[in-house]
Amino acid sequence: MENINLVDTFSEFKEFKNIDRETMMRIIEDIFRAMLIRKYGADDNFDIIVNIDKGDLEIWRNRIIVEDGAVDDDNTQVAYSEAIKIEPDFEIGEEVSEEIKLLDFGRREILAIKMNLVSKIQEYEKNNIYKKYTEKIGEIVTGEIYQVWKKEILILDDEEIELILPKSEQIPNDLFRKGDTVKAIVLKVELKNNMPNIILSRTSPVFLERLFEAEVPEVFDGLITIKNIVRVPGERAKLAVESYDDRIDPVGACVGMKGSRISGIVRELRYESLDVINYTSNPELYITRSLSPAKITSIKIDEKNKKAEVYMKPDQVSLAIGKGGYNIKLAGKLTGYEIDVYRDTDTYYEDVDLQEFNDEIEQWIIDEFKAIGCDTAKSILDLSIEELVNRTDLEEETISEVIRILKTEFE
């Protein structure tokens, strides 16, 4: 074919799904106009027609017919004797359009054009992806797992854009296989080796917030505000919610009838425990709610140092601390107070600090009991052996011996 036919070249661009038709045509035209300027010095008198569907590109040069010997610019003027070879009826002063043939370009120029096209389109696509996902930071995206590696997972979205879910941003209980569908938020977008690197997260508190927006219409509509979220991914999370409409129960709306709304979120988070509480500006009430399900006897607030001393019955201490200490840690983060839990000594004045038995009980065993909130003799004696075995990493034989030692103190 004598005209510039780029069917083969255009077919190479089918993989670039993020470039619309008009943009592709503009890029192609810009490349060829740059080439025309290099070859002819200007491009104002050229018409470029691009047909991406057929893979055709035509270039027409328009020149004014002048008398023979009066040509000052070969690019914009043509001699009358040359013009009538194209069309015998042409007259001086008329414009003649002549198609630029493929043969008018050297082999090197055609190759350079193709390489330049690929480079420009790749650059545009990278910029387009970067801009698109930069605008999506903090939003939930869904994709299909393409590859599972030890340190990260490769996910493809519906446009086959590559997304990365690092191991550090996965919930500990996550177990993914190739082909699985996964939800996550866009955490950040980086440029790595001049390529957009899109990092996802399932551990961010923002992910939990977006899940509530998706499941609870009142949150999405702004009728309920999530004031704060704290998480230990895969273990426990606490949310403080508030509604400015007295007719709306924010906690009830978030949980749903029989837990219908929150259950889907819990499943998505691999059965992470979720505590939803009513926000309040009253620090004592806020701390009380944050330590739920434990019941508090009294609180002393040090507002200056942001500390709180919480007193409760011994059987409530382990509930306040929670498994692995997560409940009290998250309560502190949620409220912004350093929370110390104490047993109500007015009722249990005869109790003995566990540390006083360090001559009979090894320190590492004492530390095990303290980790679950049992730091006095009676706090251990109030619990059954079975419950102590479940809450600690101690053997039943070790626990029985500790109980024997402690009972001796009160005989």
16 contacts: CB under 8 Å, gap ≥ 6: 24, 121, 122, 125
pLDDT at 167 over 80: yes
Phi, psi of 338 (to 5 degrees): -85, 115
User: pLDDT above 90 covers what percent of the chain?
Assistant: 49
User: pLDDT above 70 covers what percent of the chain?
Assistant: 91
pTM: 0.67
What is the Cα–Cα distance from 152 to 164, expressed in whole angstroms?
7
pLDDT by residue (tens digit) across 2-46?
A: 444 454 555 555 455 566 677 777 888 888 888 888 888 888 899
What is the Cα–Cα distance from 241 to 225, expressed in whole angstroms?
6
User: b/e for 240-265, b at 16 or more Cβ within 10 A?
Assistant: bbebeeeeeebbebbbeeeeebbeeb
Confidence of residue 50 (pLDDT cuts 50, 70, 90): confident
Of the given ranges (203-212, 240-249, 343-352), which has the lowest mean pLDDT? 343-352
pLDDT at 347: 47
pLDDT at 83: 87
Phi, psi of 145 (to 5 degrees): -70, 125
Q: What is the mean pLDDT of the chain?
A: 87
Q: How far apart are the first and last CA of the chain?
A: 108
